[in-house]
Homo-oligomer: A and B are copies of this chain.
Amino acid sequence: MREVGVWFVGARGSVATTATLGAAAVKAGAAPPQGCVTESPDFPVGLVSIADLVFGGHDITECPLRKRAEQLSRAGVVPAGLPGLLAQDLDAADAEIRRGHVPGDGTQEAAAARLAGDIAGFRDRHGLARVVVVNVSSTEPPAAPRPEFRRLADLEARLAAGDDVLPASSLYAYAAFRAGCGYVEFTPSTGPALPALAELAELRAVPYAGRDGKTGETLIKSALAPMFAQRSLRVRSWSGLNLLGGGDGATLADPAARSSKTLSKERAVAGILGEPVEGETHIDYVEDLGEWKTAWDHVTFEGFLRVRMSLQFTWQGCDSALAAPLVLDLARLVARAHERGRYGVLADLAFFFKDPLGTDEHALAAQYARLRAFAADLAGDPS
């Protein structure tokens, strides 16, 4: 497979910066591709190599990638020295970052055209086979449903009339599809999860996947909840507290944005156990934690003769270090799917997401089996 473009919405954020720097480090042989699922021997060859990914994107902040990388290095996300070593790669990606869209800056109709143009220009300049747009920008509040979200014609009529009806993430998905690109919704925002946009993806024959990268507490939940089910142990409550700093934490300090995330987080357990379970999931912004997250979960369950037992876990992770390799995996898989002519929602990528689009499968092992089958299938397809 030839070179593939990765276009980040939120290109100067922690996840995007870590992914950009990390790809450069792997290319330079300065780090193993640890944390990259598709680099495991369980996966067939045939995906674009990490060294052949080219980066660009949209953001609304001006802070140069080099500086962001230095900040991440001080925060312990990336090794000291690496940003300096790979400054050239960071600068190259930086030169491909364009201004994102902010409400008020022209109509969404005009913005969509401009954003799509930015992406197409990137593809052309680099002679890329294809580009995958990956949304790693700040989480939005949940979007209220609107009638025009149902059909593409209605949506485009509203946009043509100069009405700004789309949440930002969906505007980017719209632009990506118009530019003929695959799309990954790595945040809990709406993105492509509107019937009108699904229609557009079909029309343009582009694949997409989402929603909300599964990197921490929910990852563990999706590994542990099936155990209770398989052992016929009845889960009685599942409560959790997530403490995190960083830009993502600051965004989630806003209750509206946070509700997107908690909704997304709470789906997994009930989905796996097949019944609603008592308990809440809290998210607290704790500035002092920097780019790190600590999550505590407490589970009560009932066994034989109704005896009550409990399980607790504490997860201490670096979110961007967990997310970045998955973002590379997703770009590679979606690019390959696109190449193989797949389009519409890629439910087989559920393994990567807290709130998988196109399926209700939340159990990690089942998702992994499905992902492997998908990858094998892509590898086997005649091109």
Among candidates B80, B223, B308, residue contacting A227 with C-beta atoms closer than 8 Å: B223
Please choose the segment from A29-37, A53-61, A164-172 that sits at the chain B interface, where 4 or more of its residues have CB less than 8 A away.
Answer: A29-37
Q: A237-B288, A305-B25 are in contact. Are A231 and B294 (CB under 8 A)?
A: no
Nearest B-chain residue to A245, judged by Cβ: B237
B239 x A77 contact (CB < 8 A)? no
A35→B227 CA distance, assembly (Å): 11
Interface membership of A298, Cβ < 8 A: yes
A174→B71 CA distance, assembly (Å): 51
Flag A204-222 by CB within 8 Å of B: 1 or 0 each: 0000000000000001100
Among candidates B34, B310, B313, residue contacting A232 with C-beta atoms closer than 8 Å: B34
Give chain B nearest CB distance to A339 CB in angstroms: 23
Interface membership of A149, Cβ < 8 A: no
**Which residues 262-278 in A have Cβ within 8 Å of B in the complex?**
278
**Which residues 291-322 in A have Cβ within 8 Å of B in the complex?**
294, 296, 298, 300, 302-318, 321-322
Give chain B nearest CB distance to A175 CB in angstroms: 29
Across-interface contacts of A296 in B (CB, < 8 A): 241, 296, 298, 312
A280 x B284 contact (CB < 8 A)? yes
Across-interface contacts of A318 in B (CB, < 8 A): 303, 307, 309
A294 x B304 contact (CB < 8 A)? no
Among candidates B82, B279, B282, B314, residue contacting A305 with C-beta atoms closer than 8 Å: B82
Nearest B-chain residue to A310, judged by Cβ: B316
Give chain B nearest CB distance to A368 CB in angstroms: 5
Interface membership of A357, Cβ < 8 A: no
A233→B243 CA distance, assembly (Å): 21
Spell out A's residues near B (CB within 8 Å): 18, 21-22, 25, 31-37, 39-40, 42, 76-80, 82, 219-220, 223-224, 226-227, 229-234, 236-237, 239, 241, 243, 278-280, 282, 284, 286-289, 294, 296, 298, 300, 302-318, 321-322, 324-325, 351, 363-366, 368
8 contacts between A and B (CB under 8 A): A40-B232, A223-B226, A232-B325, A237-B288, A294-B298, A303-B321, A303-B325, A304-B325
